[in-house]
Amino acid sequence: MQRWWFLEENGDAKGSSDKQESSAKKTKPTKPAGDRRHTFRVLVTYDLLKDETVAITGSCEALGNWDPEQCVQLHREPGKHMILGPYRYTIRKN
């Protein structure tokens, strides 16, 4: 099962199942198209072996075009079980 999460303008994550908005509630004006930076974090709930790592890949050159040899390896944040990407990814609006 996949869960989709969307980042609101204030940085709060909102699940796609949260669609109970009042019609009387005013919507925020949309930002013009352009790049927005997001930090990608993954919570690993089990211990990784010494030679294991977490990586992501995707359908763009920056994420390796689905080629496992070109994926982006993540690194561990100090003192946490979170994994954090080495840089912020640009998500472009079409």
Side chain identity, residue 31: K
Q: Is residue 77 part of a domain?
A: yes
- In a domain? residue 12: no
- Domain-embedded: residue 81: yes
For the segment 26-69, what is each residue's pLDDT rounded down to a tens digit?
Answer: 676 666 556 666 677 777 777 778 788 888 888 888 888 989 89
What is the model's pLDDT at position 43? 77
CA dist., res. 74 & res. 82, Å (int): 10
Which residues 6+ apart lie within 8 Å of 34 measured at CB? 92, 93
Looking at the 3D structure of the chain, how many domains does it have?
1
Burial of 25 (0-12, 13-18, 19+ CB in 10 A): exposed
Domain presence at residue 44 = yes
Task: Check the CA dihedral 38-85-40-90 and report its sign.
Answer: positive
Per-residue pLDDT at 70 exceeds 80: yes
Q: Residue 30 falls within a domain, yes or no?
A: no
Question: In this structure, is residue 51 part of a structural domain?
Answer: yes
Q: Which pLDDT score is estimated for 19?
A: 47
State pTM to two decimals. 0.46
Whole domain around residue 46: which residue ranges? 35-94
